[in-house]
Structures are given as structure tokens and as C-alpha cells.
């Protein structure tokens, strides 16, 4: 019998008000049901928001360092249960065990960083233009945070949002992706075990339309933090905009890696293999474009094809698996449709290009690591996010053309250049239009204590991670203290002569 999971609303584990459920299955073996989850509706969201609103009035007054100590305990519990959660996550969404361990570790890192921020949350003091007067700014919590997350980092991304929201004094209504509800439930269990007052966190499982939209549209939800596709980000932004809500959007990517002729080709090769096929290409920062200088193009493509042909597909729990399945049937169909588009556009399929169905792979959503060469700038496979193990190789004549190609997409999340030339490296840091640039490293590998996010249609200017995310979860309050004992009018009673 599959395990039964619940919502957590108003301090209680409960079923959906609809009484309906949905199943979650292992993408490496769809015969395995991970669990049965409540298929919730607006009614459940309304209850969750009411509880979060009620809890806010007390939670906002708890000293931030005390809130931080609860998150410290969360970090400790995540550390204790890292292996158990990583195994559940691999069964739930397919990525290999080394990566799901890394995903939990990112949650742990985010927790311990949050503990340190809880003792900072700095405001400013500034001199007044008038005598016997002080100017101070404070960081205040905002209210109820609606948090909507994707499935590809089922622990890390919720922690990026929930920990700073809580440490800043907000309460939370959390809707995880319906492909990864079990990992999300573990996180909520741990928050409660660590001592978080129950109504401060509310977990509502279900679909984007039935749960996500009611959260976004609820008048008592003050801010929305969303990570997911640009298409859904646009819908959320327009709905939340009607109510002037604060919204943080972390969206898609079409990340490129440039390799110059002076690069260490062995390093560049390891980098692109990890960047393009780690997490089966399903990272917002995945390398989906490889931009090769003409002088090393042919040699590098040969090296790449040989290594890609050796990648082993399989269940991520098996130690010899390099590449796990994609998340579900729809994702595999989407990936394959892009392969067909690439062929029609005139790109040359070098390797892969079809589902992998041999032996044990037949009962999972596997897709062969795929490389297209002769890809021209502007082709759809070069412009649109495929979110799977498909790499497009583009040949360029020089550095300037490489920069033009890497910048020529609607996205601006991550980027990479391999070169030993310090001048080119610094020009790339300056001229690549992206939130993240790696020098001699792949496009993936963000660290939890640094700001994370992208330019252009990758988001709306906010950042997750590090110190910057705390700006999103707090409102600035400015206080003027006049101890002159008389009315002093700013701009009028100043005397600069």
C-alpha cells in the first residue's frame, strides 16, 4: 500500500476539503507509487491563509535571533536525515543519489546561513540634516508569504524561500510541485519538530490552477515567491500585479558555455558533461548551448561524443548510474518534440535523439543524452528552454561572436567561459548579460550564501540566496527621532549659509 500524505493547515495534518487525492510515482520505475497526496482546492488555501495571518501577529514579535535558532535546529535535523531524504528524493524525481545528497546539503547550508542572518538583518543609521535629531531604518516583516516551488530542487528551492521568510518574521503558505510532494512534506515535518509554532507554516498540496492561483489571488497573502517556468511566471506576475503584491520570480534559462582555443580542453569537457547532463539537463542553470571557437570545434566535438556515448542511464539509486530519468511523460514528449524541431531546422543530430527503452529503462521516463551540431543562432533549439538532456553546439569565429551568441536569448541566468587568457576572462565577466558567470567552471554549481538569479526574462530582478533575499522578505521602516524640543522642519529650517 502506498503511503498516505496530508496537508498541514492551521496546525493539523489533514486531508483536502475535496476528499480527492493524486498519486506520485517514481520516474525511473512508474510501477512504484511513492505516495498518495491530497488534491486540494481554494477552500484549503483559504484555511491555510487564515491560519498564517493569525499566527503572524505573534511570530513577528519573536526576536529574530530566536527565530534563527529554530532554523539552526532544522539544519541539524536535515543533517541527521540527509541520507534518508536524499533516497526519498531520488525515488520521487529521479536524479542520482550524489545530486539529491547535494540538494539536501544546499538546504542545510541555507539553514546555517539563515541563522547568521537572524543576528544581522541590518538597518541603517544616517545623520540628520537638523540638529538633535536621529535617522534610523529598520527591517520589518511583511506578513503572509505564498511560496510556490518547482520539482527539480525539491529541498533546496523551498529552503531558499521558507528559511529567509521565517527568519524575517513572516508566516508561510507553501505549495510544492505536485511531482515532489513527499520531499516537501519531510521539510515541513522537520520545521515542526524543530519547534516552529504550528500555524506559522502551512502546506497545501495540489495543482497550479487549483492551489497556486488561489494563493496568488488571495487578498491576505502579502508576497509571492515563485520559481518555475517563464510561462507560469508571467501568469503569476499579472495576477499578483492587480493587487500590487510583492513578487519574486525565478524563471527559465538557456545557458551557454564558451570554449576558447587556449582553454584546457579536458576541463572544458568535464564541465560541459556535468553542466548539460547532470540532473538529466533539468536545471534552470543547465548548459544547453555549447559555443565552440572554430579552431577547436571539430576536435572538441569528437571528444564530447565519445564521452557522452559512455554515460550510463539508469535508476539514480544505483551507484553506477550517471544520468537518471526525466521527470514525467509530458517532459519526455516535450524533449522529443524539440529533437524533431532541431532536425527540421537543419541541425545535425550527432548522438542520442530518442527515448531510452532497453531492459530496465523500459518502465521509466528515460531519454538518451543528445547532441546537435551545426546549430545556428536563432534556431528554436538554440533559443527555447528544452529542460532535458539536449545540447546544441554552435561554431563561432572569435571571442566577440561568442559573446554575441551567448547573449542573444531572452534569458540571462547562468553562463560560462573556458579560457586561460586573463583579458578574455575579464571581458566575459563584464560583457556577458547574465546573473551568474563562471570562469573555467560549468554553468551549474551555485553556492547557497551567494545571490542567485538572472537578468532579462529569467526573472523580475530579485535574487534568492545569500544576503540579498532578505531584502525581498522585509520592508524598510524609517524612524526619525527629534529630541530638540521644538518643531524642526526638514528642508526649511536648515541653514547652509
Catalytic positions, written as ranges:
250, 284
| CA 253, chain centre distance (Å) | 11
Nearest residue to 276 via CA among 443, 95, 436: 443
Provide the 3-class DSSP secondary structure of residue 4.
Answer: strand
The count of residues interacting with ligand NAD (CB under 6 A) is 30
**By CB under 6 A, is residue 251 in contact with ligand NAD?**
yes
Element (H, E) at 423: helix 422-431
From candidates 232, 292, 326, 375, binder to ligand NAD by CB under 6 A: 232
Helix, strand, coil shares, percent, the chain, to 5: 40, 25, 35
Helices (H), 19-125: 42-59, 64-80, 82-93, 97-118
**By CB under 6 A, is residue 472 in contact with ligand NAD?**
no
Which part of the chain contacts ligand NAD (CB under 6 A), choosing from 47-55, 67-75, 208-216, 422-430? Answer: 208-216
Element (H, E) at 202: strand 201-203
Which part of the chain contacts ligand NAD (CB under 6 A), choosing from 51-59, 223-231, 272-280, 345-353? Answer: 223-231
Contact track, ligand NAD, 161-200, x by CB under 6 A: --------------x-xx----------------------
Identify which of residues 141 and 158 has a Cβ nearer to ligand NAD in the complex.
158
**By CB under 6 A, is residue 151 in contact with ligand NAD?**
yes
From candidates 222, 250, 315, 382, binder to ligand NAD by CB under 6 A: 250
* DSSP letter (8 states) at residue 464: B
CA angle 92, 277, 334 (to 5 degrees): 70
Least distance in angstroms from the C-beta of 459 to ligand NAD: 6
**By CB under 6 A, is residue 228 in contact with ligand NAD?**
yes
Identify which of residues 387 and 418 has a Cβ nearer to ligand NAD in the complex.
387
- At 39, list the grid cell: 488534491
Question: Do residues 292 and 337 lie in contact, with contact meaning Cβ atoms separated by under 8 Å?
Answer: no
Q: Which residues are CB-contacts of 297 (< 8 A; sequence separation ≥ 6)? A: 393, 395
Identify which of residues 75 and 146 has a Cβ nearer to ligand NAD in the complex.
146
**By CB under 6 A, is residue 146 in contact with ligand NAD?**
no
**By CB under 6 A, is residue 386 in contact with ligand NAD?**
no
**By CB under 6 A, is residue 108 in contact with ligand NAD?**
no
**By CB under 6 A, is residue 148 in contact with ligand NAD?**
yes
Least distance in angstroms from the C-beta of 239 to ligand NAD: 8
d(CA 380, CA 396): 18
Q: Which residues are CB-contacts of 430 (< 8 A; sequence separation ≥ 6)? A: none
**By CB under 6 A, is residue 45 in contact with ligand NAD?**
no
From candidates 253, 325, 369, 466, binder to ligand NAD by CB under 6 A: 253
Classify residue 252 by burial, with Cβ atoms within 10 Å: 0-12, 13-18, 19+: buried
* Binding region for ligand NAD (CB under 6 A): 148-153, 175, 177-178, 207-209, 212-213, 216, 227-229, 232, 235-236, 250-253, 284, 385, 387, 413, 458
Amino acid at each position: 500500500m502506498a503511503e498516505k500524505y496530508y496537508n498541514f493547515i492551521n496546525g493539523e495534518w489533514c486531508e483536502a476539503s475535496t476528499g480527492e487525492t493524486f498519486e506520485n510515482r517514481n520516474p525511473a520505475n512508474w510501477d512504484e507509487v511513492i505516495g498518495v497526496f491530497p488534491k486540494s482546492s481554494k477552500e484549503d488555501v483559504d484555511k491555510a491563509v487564515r491560519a498564517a495571518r493569525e499566527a503572524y501577529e505573534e511570530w513577528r514579535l519573536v526576536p529574530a535571533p530566536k527565530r534563527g535558532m529554530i532554523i539552526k535546529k532544522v539544519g541539524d535535523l536535515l543533517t541527521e536525515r540527509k541520507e534518508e531524504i536524499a533516497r526519498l528524493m531520488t525515488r520521487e524525481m529521479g536524479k542520482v543519489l550524489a545530486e539529491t545528497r547535494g540538494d539536501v546539503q544546499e538546504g542545510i547550508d541555507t539553514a546555517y546561513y539563515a541563522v547568521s542572518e537572524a543576528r544581522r538583518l541590518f538597518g541603517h543609521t544616517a545623520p540628520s540634516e537638523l540638529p538633535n535629531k536621529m535617522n534610523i531604518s529598520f527591517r520589518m516583516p511583511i506578513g503572509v508569504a505564498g511560496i510556490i516551488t518547482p520539482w527539480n530542487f525539491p529541498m533546496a528551492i523551498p529552503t531558499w524561500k521558507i528559511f529567509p521568510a521565517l527568519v524575517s518574521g513572516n508566516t508561510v503558505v507553501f505549495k510544492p510541485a505536485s511531482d515532489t510532494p513527499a520531499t516537501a512534506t519531510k521539510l515541513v515535518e522537520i520545521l515542526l519538530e524543530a519547534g516552529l509554532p504550528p500555524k506559522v507554516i502551512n502546506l497545501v498540496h495540489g495543482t497550479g490552477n487549483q492551489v497556486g492561483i488561489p494563493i496568488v489571488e488571495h487578498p491576505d497573502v502579502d508576497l509571492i515567491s515563485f520559481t518555475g517556468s517563464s510561462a507560469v511566471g508571467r501568469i503569476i506576475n499579472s495576477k499578483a500585479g492587480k493587487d500590487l503584491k510583492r513578487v519574486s520570480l525565478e524563471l527559465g534559462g538557456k545557458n551557454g558555455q564558451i570554449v576558447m582555443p587556449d582553454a584546457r580542453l579536458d576541463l572544458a569537457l568535464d564541465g560541459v558533461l556535468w553542466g548539460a547532463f547532470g540532473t538529466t539537463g533539468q536545471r534552470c542553470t543547465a548548459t544547453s548551448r555549447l559555443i565552440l571557437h572554430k579552431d577547436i570545434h571539430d576536435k572538441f566535438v569528437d571528444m564530447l561524443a565519445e564521452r557522452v556515448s559512455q554515460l550510463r542511464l539508469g535508476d539514480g539509486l544505483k551507484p553506477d548510474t550517471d544520468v537518471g530519468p526525466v521527470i514525467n511523460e509530458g517532459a519526455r514528449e516535450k524533449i522529443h518534440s524539440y529533437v524533431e524541431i532541431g532536425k527540421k531546422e537543419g541541425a545535425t543530430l550527432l548522438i542520442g535523439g530518442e527515448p531510452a527503452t532497453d531492459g530496465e529503462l523500459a518502465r521509466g521516463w528515460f531519454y538518451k543524452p543528445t547532441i546537435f551540431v551545426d546549430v545556428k543562432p536563432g534556431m528554436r533549439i538554440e533559443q527555447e528552454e528544452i529542460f532535458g538532456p539536449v545540447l546544441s553546439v554552435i561554431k563561432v569565429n572569435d571571442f566577440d561572436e561568442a559573446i554575441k551568441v551567448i547573449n542573444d536569448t531572452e534569458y540571462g541566468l547562468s553562463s560560462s567561459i573556458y579560457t586561460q587568457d586573463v583579458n578574455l576572462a575579464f571581458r566575459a565577466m563584464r560583457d556577458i548579460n547574465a546573473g551568474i558567470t563562471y570562469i573555467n567552471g560549468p554553468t551549474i554549481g551555485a553556492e547557497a550564501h551567494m545571490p542567485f538569479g538572472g537578468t532579462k526574462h529569467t526573472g523580475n530582478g530579485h535574487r534568492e540566496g545569500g544576503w540579498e533575499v532578505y531584502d525581498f522578505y522585509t520592508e524598510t521602516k524609517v524612524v526619525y527621532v527629534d529630541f530638540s524640543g521644538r518643531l524642526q522642519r526638514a528642508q526649511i529650517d536648515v541653514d547652509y549659509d
